[in-house]
Amino acid sequence: MGFSKDVLKIDPTKETERITSFIEKTILIDMHKKGAVIGLSGGIDSAVSAALCVRALGPGKVLGIILPEKDSSSMSEIYALLLAKQLGICTEKVDMTPTLEKFGVYENRDEVVSKIFFDFDPSTWKYKIALPQDLLEKDRLSVFSLVVQLPDGSEQKKRLPIQDYLQIVAATNMKQRTRMVYLYYFAERNNYAQVGTTNRTEVRQGFFVKYGDGGVDLEPLAHLYKSQIFMLAEYLDIPKEICERTPSPDTYTAEVSDIEFYFSVPFDILDPFLWADENKIPQDKVCEALSLTQEQYERLKRNTDQKSRATWHFLELPPALSPF
């Protein structure tokens, strides 16, 4: 079987027809819902998902929800409103900051930063967590670092101990789970279905929060790799500003990309690699097509397998015993 990056090319017209038919049937016929609610993040995945819902159901049956909080980029709301205007859909906005403050999200996260950087000032410093970006270059452990940005623009970085990493992630994941609660409020208030935005790259690697952005009624993009989302976005005429925006979780005070935060490898390599792995393409063919050495292939294979093993339960119902 031949293999190249072209295996991910799609026919955007046929794919749009297939997805819109799926959305229409699932929401209106199978679920007996009246429309769709979707969280608009200002990113490309939610934009494509919203555009497909409009094509499937009409703009009057799609409601966009904008859920900013104090760490969100100001551009997220601007781009979300830009998309809503282009699609002709109504929006609702809820500032999640007061809710997250009551949950202690910011306090619990800042506690870790203050412990590692003693002079940390949350009013002027920004921070993020990130993985090393040399996955293909050398063997290394996937250990997160805490990166702080000082008011003068300089950065400092320190290795993040596992317990501190867990506390930061546990606090941050409450943002996605709070978004899910608000989205279901609007969905149930209108007898709408909540539509997800997770793509196949994220599904395969567990890059979503269980009962957070993974808590939805249907996933119209979960069969498309991130590279294919960009292809479909061009066909759907998604605003240029959104298409050119760097994909990001948008949950830390400092900007961090999806690649820097989780994947460590560009999508033009990661996506065809994951496809090849799923379709059992021989290693030599993958290396040739993606310009990888044998050592780079093996490093990437170990990394992607580890992520899949650690997150398999995200895709399953909770384990339970069989009835007697």
Domain finish residue from 236, 257, 278: 257
Assigned domain for 292 exists: no
Residue 284 has pLDDT above 90, yes or no: yes
User: What are the CA-CA distances from residue 245 to residues 19, 175, 248 (Å)?
Assistant: 24, 21, 9
Strand, helix or coil for residue 106: helix
Assigned domain for 217 exists: yes
Q: Is the dihedral of CA 225, 229, 230, 232 positive or negative?
A: positive
Assigned domain for 46 exists: yes
- Torsion angle of the four alpha carbons 202, 205, 210, 215, in this order, in degrees rounded to the nearest 10: 30
Closest by Cα among 248, 290, 183 to 45: 248
Question: Could you tell me the CATH number of the domain that includes residue 62?
Answer: 3.40.50.620
Domain finish residue from 123, 145, 166: 166
Q: Which residue has the tokens 């030599």?
A: 284
pLDDT class for 228, splitting at 50, 70, 90? Answer: very high
Residue 260 has pLDDT above 90, yes or no: yes
Domain finish residue from 166, 182, 198: 166
pLDDT class for 264, splitting at 50, 70, 90? Answer: very high
pLDDT class for 1, splitting at 50, 70, 90? Answer: low
Q: Are residues 190 and 216 in the same domain?
A: yes
**What is the pLDDT of the chain when averaged over all its residues?**
96
Q: Are residues 85 and 191 in the same domain?
A: yes
Closest by Cα among 255, 307, 44 to 130: 255
So what's the pLDDT on residue 47? 98
Distance CA 193, CA 101 (A): 28
Name the burial class of residue 54, with classes exposed (0-12), middle (13-18) and buried (19+) by CB atoms within 10 angstroms of its CB.
buried
Whether 174 and 103 have beta carbons less than 8 Å apart is answered as yes
So what's the pLDDT on residue 141? 75
pLDDT class for 298, splitting at 50, 70, 90? Answer: very high
Assigned domain for 48 exists: yes
Phi, psi of 37 (to 5 degrees): -110, 135
H/E run at residue 130: strand 126-130
Residue 32 has pLDDT above 90, yes or no: yes
Strand, helix or coil for residue 62: strand
